[in-house]
A and B are shown apart, each in its own frame.
Chain A
Amino acid sequence: MSFASPAFLWYYLPLVLGLYLVLPRSWRNGLLSVASLVFYAWGGGAFVLLLLACMAVNFTAGILVDTGRSEIESEQEHGRPHIASTSARRAVLVATVAFDLGILAVWKYGDFATRQLHELTGSVQVLAVALPIGISFFTFHHLSYVVDVYRGSRRSQRSPVQFITYIAMFPQLIAGPIVRYHEIAEQLSDTKRNRLEDISEGFPRFALGLAKKVVIADAIAPVADAAFNGNPAALDFRTAWIGAIAYTLQIYFDFSGYSDMAIGLGRMFGFRLPENFNRPYSSVSVTDFWRRWHMSLSRWFRDYLYIPLGGNRGSTAMTYRNLYIVFLLTGFWHGANWTFLIWGLYHGSWLAAERALGIARADPNRHVVLRRALTLLIVIVGWVFFRSSDIGRAGKYLATMAVPELSSHSEVLDGVLTTRISLLLVLAALVALLPRSFVMGRLLERASPPARVARLAYAGVAAPYAAVLVAAGTFSPFLYFQF
């Protein structure tokens, strides 16, 4: 179920919020657990059983690998099972991580991997399995949980309800942000909250995200779709650039809008979810970009992969190896396609180059305009790999972008680039070009007069307009019904 759908906005969410307000505060996690499983089943159907099975395995594993600060006393006191041996705990951890990654490998990458083998050998049967929604997110939550508990940074959950709340909490279940367990563990038990205050603080942020997605991203999407889905031979220089810029803006407003909605929804239920975007298109280097884009994923990879691999503590070669591994997997995490892998390697290469040239540590306030422009150019080129259906099409697309041929005129965008969409494209581009310090999501958290105006504007104007668009977007007449 999408947040930007009538089912969610005017049936599911009012019901859940209503119950949240009338039930005792201590029931919050129970309500959220049940509501989140319904939310997942609504979008994923029978895959909710897979989610439940994964949760059961990881919940049990968490108990088994828990060291605790006063382990023996605690376990004796509560009668909980425990494993005193470090090697046994490590074995459970390895088995659980293997289980989680195995689930991800089969359901997300099985089709892709067997397809490659089939094309190579002609004999391997393609494993055609449907992709469970949100599998990348809930798998990373499970991994975060079991590793954090193993490391002893947080105790394992005793309450299955709190565990389900962490893993399946519907605001972040299918599109993030990725919440590391140690970021939220304390909040899970904090149910004595002023619920009306939480809702009044969360709603403007939710409205901001809804408007970003529905008013801007969804409107721009057809421009990118027309440019990337059509015949590459029909593209010209101008159209290719407009399409690439449109996709650059669309993916930001769509993804960050979804994150804003998630953060706002989390706030409405009394949780502070981590920020996921920080004006990434104002970055002055690719290194800077990855501090600002999908920050929760970067932090996850840093904590659970980069640092365990050795980070930058080893030799220079090891550091670059670790960077490449992280970015290769970052690319692959986004989808089972060579295009994502190339996109990851492309960014990893820029990070490595910036590290080698010392750009990553350069003063961010020097040559800001030039560095922002260059970084944005690198990012836009990267999105071409990300958005293209295959490497060949990406290559043709980039070749068209590379050769300035202004005399030809493609018809690909005719009828698509309307006045409204052109205006929104310009508006979105202007927002992307605002000063680096201007972050709307964080502005909404403040108590300043501009923040008050922004909160009212989003809650009172943007949200109703987005609502009209969501409701009108369901309009689907059928030409042939009469017959």
Chain B
Amino acid sequence: MTDTARTEPMAPDSLGAQDRPPPRRRLRGSPLRIVVLVLAAGFFCLPGVGYLLGVRAQQIENRPLTTRPTASEGWKIFPHLNAWTSDHLPFRDKAVRLNADVDQGLFGAPPGQGTNGRSEVISGKDGWLFFTQDVDWACAPQQPTASTLRAADRLAKMVRATGANYALFVPPDKTSIETAELPSRYPGKACSTAAKRDFWAQMASNPPDGYTDLYQRLQQLRASRGAPIYRSKDSHWAPESAGIYAQELADAARRGLWQPQDLVPTGPQRALGDLTRFTGIPGDNTFDGYATRRPGVTSFPYEPGKVGTIGIATLRSSSAPAGAPLYTDQALLLGDSFSGISEPQWTPYFSKLVSVSINAAPKDPKDVATMILSSKVVFVESVERAFATGRAPLFTDAFLDKLQVELDKQRAARP
């Protein structure tokens, strides 16, 4: 340290006033000190006091609260603790609501702007909401569309080799159909618009094996209706569009199963818009209701179950002797939330359909192979944003290689 006295600092005077601690203030016993202490205590202890008084965290997202961490997790206990402490924070629901109110009320921010300014939703015209991921993913594909299409052909070939029929559906993103409701400017507009145009052109000119074109059907429906066919505050389509999907599913199982009179309007319908959850102020949206009514057909609530490690939902319908015909062989549907939200529309066509999340399926190729081998028809449905950008894990060579091995093994083991 003796060098310091003899040597000019590299930035002269850098050891100046800032190095010296400021003089001590006399604070002892002052009212200000007490006020600050009370504020500090309130700041740090309010959630804890709330907990002691019985305030418990509310489930405000569309997922369960994080489970309590255990010591057996080893070092992973800490990231788990972060999630657990956030989820179980008393008054968290109030903070989310207050923040959303301040953002929208005081600053006129678009819904879902979030605390860090990153919006999960794009605010469209007349209160319409769009899922930002539609745009973000389109601008940043994970694998070329050509690779996904090759994988889709490969999957079709593998399924057909088992003797089952196969059909592929790609529900268009809301941003691909309801373009009139999009704002005039939004981040990624140019690149996502170009990417989507290229994707649908490829799907039209070089469709993968078993592909059913919902995009053209929905474009036609949109043009004929002259009104939206997706839900205004939800990422999914409205019931009438779901009815188009149900028609294609039924016809893919057995042509002629669907009849035009099956889909009937039921009047205005209200339901929670999934995109409103991102705004911190969950809210409903209203849309035209449609239901599938088939003479003599009764559909039953889904039965949850498991095949190996994969969670499944089995959907059943029955038909009276003189009722409308059903597809009676077992059907398998690997789909995402578009299939889930359309379930009331397509269930009345199948006496037994096993539904599996397309996102969960790739975790266990063995169980997927088992389910394919048990089915006479296999439907695969993947929303545009995942399929077009290579984010649907079913359409990767890594998964298909494993699936092929499992299919060969299980077929060989069968009598």
* CB neighbours of B357 from chain A (8 A): 480, 483
Binding site for B on A (CB under 8 A): 1, 5-7, 9-11, 13-14, 17, 41-43, 45-46, 148, 151, 153, 182-183, 194, 196-197, 199-201, 203-204, 207, 214, 218-223, 225-226, 231, 234, 272, 274-275, 278, 287-288, 290-291, 295, 298-299, 301-303, 306-308, 311-313, 322-323, 326, 351, 360-361, 411-416, 418-421, 423, 442, 445-447, 452, 455-456, 459-460, 463-464, 467-483
Instruction: Tell me if B115 is interfacial: C-beta within 8 Å of chain A.
Output: yes
- Besides A311-B9, A456-B32, A472-B92, 11 more A-B contacts (Cβ < 8 Å) are A1-B82, A7-B86, A183-B19, A231-B191, A415-B123, A420-B107, A455-B36, A471-B92, A478-B61, A483-B335, A483-B340
The answer to the question of B261 belonging to the interface, with a C-beta cut-off of 8 Å to chain A, is: no
Q: Does B231 contact A (CB under 8 A)?
A: no
Contact A308 B3 (CB under 8 A): yes
Task: Please tell me if B274 contacts chain A, counting CB pairs below 8 Å.
Answer: yes
9 example contacts (A-B, Cβ-Cβ < 8 A) are as follows: A17-B44, A182-B1, A207-B43, A278-B18, A295-B14, A456-B36, A472-B280, A480-B336, A482-B341
With A6-B89, A415-B186, A472-B115 in contact, do A153 and B95 touch (Cβ < 8 Å)?
A: no
Q: Is the CB of B44 within 8 A of A475?
A: no
In angstroms, Cα B118 to Cα A14, docked, is: 30
Contact of B359 among A148, A301, A480 (CB under 8 A): A480
Say yes or no for B21: interface residue by CB 8 A criterion. yes
- The reply on B40 being an interface residue by CB < 8 A is yes
A10 touches B7 (CB 8 A): no
With A45-B75, A476-B61, A478-B62 already in contact, the answer to whether A222 and B7 are too (CB < 8 A) is: no
User: Which residues of chain B in 41-57 are interfacial with respect to chain A, using CB atoms and an 8 Å cutoff?
Assistant: 43-48
What is the bound-complex CA distance between A361 and B11, given in angstroms? Answer: 10
Contacts of B320 in A (CB 8 A): none
Partner of A313, one of B6, B32, B113: B6
Residue contact B35 to A472, C-beta cutoff 8 Å:
no
Judging by beta carbons under 8 Å apart, are A221 and B116 in contact? yes
The answer to whether A295 touches B96, judged by C-beta atoms less than 8 angstroms apart, is no
Give Cα distance in the complex from A308 to B6, angstroms.
12
Report yes or no: A483 in contact with B44, Cβ–Cβ below 8 A: no
- Are the CB atoms of A473 and B85 closer together than 8 Å? no
B187 CB contact (under 8 Å) in A302, A313, A415, A476 = A415
Which of B23-31, B143-151, B161-169 is found at the contact surface with chain A? Answer: B23-31
Q: How far is the CA of A207 from the CA of B12 in the complex (A)?
A: 32
Whether A471 lies near B89 (C-beta < 8 A) is yes
A463 pairs with B99, CB closer than 8 A: no
Assembly CA distance A201 to B35 (angstroms): 11
Query: In the complex, what distance in Å separates the CA atom of A6 from the CA atom of B47?
Result: 10
CB-CB under 8 A for A479 and B40, given A278-B18, A307-B3, A411-B187: no
B48 close to A10 (CB less than 8 A):
yes
Is A311's CB under 8 angstroms from B107's CB? Answer: no
**Closest A residue by C-beta to B40:** A203
Q: What is the bound-complex CA distance between A295 and B116, given in angstroms?
A: 28
Q: Which 3 A-B pairs have the closest CB atoms?
A: A471-B95, A472-B99, A420-B107
Q: CA A311 – CA B12 in complex, angstroms?
A: 11
In the bound complex, residues from chain A placing their C-beta under 8 Å from that of B36 are 200, 203-204, 455-456, 459
Which A residues are CB-close (under 8 A) to B118? 222, 225
In the complex, which residues of chain A have a beta carbon less than 8 angstroms from the beta carbon of B117? 218-223, 416, 418, 420-421
A418 to B36, CA, bound (A): 34
Chain B minimum-CB-distance residue to A467: B43
The answer on a CB contact under 8 Å between B32 and A455 is yes
Cβ contact within 8 Å between B21 and A290? no
B371 close to A (CB within 8 Å)? no
Cβ of B22: which chain A residues have Cβ within 8 Å of it? 442, 445-446
Given known A42-B81, A411-B189, A472-B95, contact A477–B116 (CB-CB < 8 A): no
Chain A proximity mask over B245-278: 1 for CB below 8 Å, otherwise 0: 0000000000000000000000000000010011
**B8 within 8 A of partner (CB):** yes
B63 A469 Cβ-Cβ under 8 A: no
In the assembly, what is the distance between CA of A353 and CA of B1, in Å? 28
Interface residues of B in 182-215 (CB under 8 A from A): 183, 185-191
Chain B nearest CB, measured from A454 CB (Å):
11
Q: Report yes or no: B35 in contact with A290, Cβ–Cβ below 8 A.
A: no
